[in-house]
């Protein structure tokens, strides 16, 4: 089985509730009718309206939806891409290797998932996309991401779920080059907007130290020119 991830850029003027309706009421039933093994949508809907810690440049469209589709083989993707063909201003699809580093209920920050497919997941998801730093070889990049960044951030931050999607290759023409598409789930919006909570700190001194630890790691993890971060709502439509 293979996982495909589609990023969809859309105009900021499209109302978040209308975007949710488009994806959940129109596109999702059509994709489910094609019988994928699983389907998930992360959407910039009315429940995800918060400022990202890394604002999108003013001259750039934001990613407003991320659609994940699981198939026997990515060779079977054409009907799914036809459904998504008119969604957003532009689209980019990727074949990825998924690592479920932490599932709901895997730590003290969230209980085991008990909500049904099609229901909005509690809290908020931050979708982060990036390429590796220039001049960094794959062994160093993946070694740092898997062996240091993941366990360090897991120990520090109150994440409910952490999904690493390592990009194998692009599936659509002209797709931007990314090595990572990361989905991090948080119990509430406050867990992301309150710096002390986000960095697992109880004092200002600890906050400063934890930020330093994080920045020391992330400068080795991604190319800043490619890194983007988007707050979205998670909908697990078929699991």
Residue 152 has pLDDT above 90, yes or no: yes
CB atoms within 10 A of CB 22: 18
Nearest to 6 by CA among 64, 45, 73: 64
Mean pLDDT rounded to a whole number for the chain:
96
- pLDDT of the residue at 54: 85
Going by their DSSP bridges, the two strands 38-43 and 228-238 should be labelled as antiparallel
What does the pLDDT look like over 26-72, one tens digit per residue?
Answer: 999 999 999 999 999 999 999 999 988 888 898 999 999 999 999 99
Domain span including residue 71? 2-238
Number of domains forming the structure of the chain: 1
Report the pLDDT averaged over residues 216-239.
96
Quote the percentage of the chain above a pLDDT of 70.
100
Separation CA 227–CA 224 (nearest Å): 5
Report the pLDDT averaged over residues 71-84.
98
- pLDDT of the residue at 135: 94
Res. 233 pLDDT band, cuts 50 70 90: very high
Q: What is the pTM of this model?
A: 0.96
Going by their DSSP bridges, the two strands 2-9 and 63-71 should be labelled as antiparallel
Q: What is the CATH number of the domain that holds 25?
A: 3.30.70.100
158 class by beta-carbon count within 10 Å (0-12 exposed, 13-18 middle, 19+ buried):
middle
């Amino acid at each position: 089985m293979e996982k495909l991830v589609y990023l969809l850029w859309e105009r900021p003027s499209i109302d978040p509730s209308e975007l949710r309706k488009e994806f959940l009421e129109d596109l999702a039933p059509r994709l489910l009718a094609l019988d994928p093994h699983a389907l998930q949508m992360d959407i910039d809907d009315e429940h995800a309206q918060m400022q990202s810690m890394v604002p999108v440049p003013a001259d750039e469209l934001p990613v407003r939806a991320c659609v994940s589709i699981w198939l026997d083989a990515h060779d079977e993707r054409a009907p799914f891409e036809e459904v998504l063909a008119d969604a957003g201003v532009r689209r980019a699809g990727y074949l990825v290797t998924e690592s479920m580093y932490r599932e709901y209920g895997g730590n003290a920050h969230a209980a085991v998932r008990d909500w049904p497919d099609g229901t909005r997941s509690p809290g908020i998801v931050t979708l982060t996309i990036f390429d590796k730093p220039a001049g960094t070889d794959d062994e160093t990049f993946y070694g740092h991401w898997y062996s240091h960044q993941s366990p360090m951030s897991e120990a520090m931050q109150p994440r409910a779920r952490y999904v690493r999607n390592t990009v194998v290759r692009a599936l659509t023409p002209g797709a931007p080059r990314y090595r990572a598409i990361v989905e991090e789930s948080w119990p509430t919006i406050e867990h992301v907007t309150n710096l002390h909570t986000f960095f697992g700190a109880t004092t200002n001194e600890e906050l400063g130290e934890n930020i330093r630890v994080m920045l020391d790691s992330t400068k080795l993890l991604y190319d800043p020119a490619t890194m983007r971060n988007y707050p979205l709502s998670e909908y697990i439509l078929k699991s």
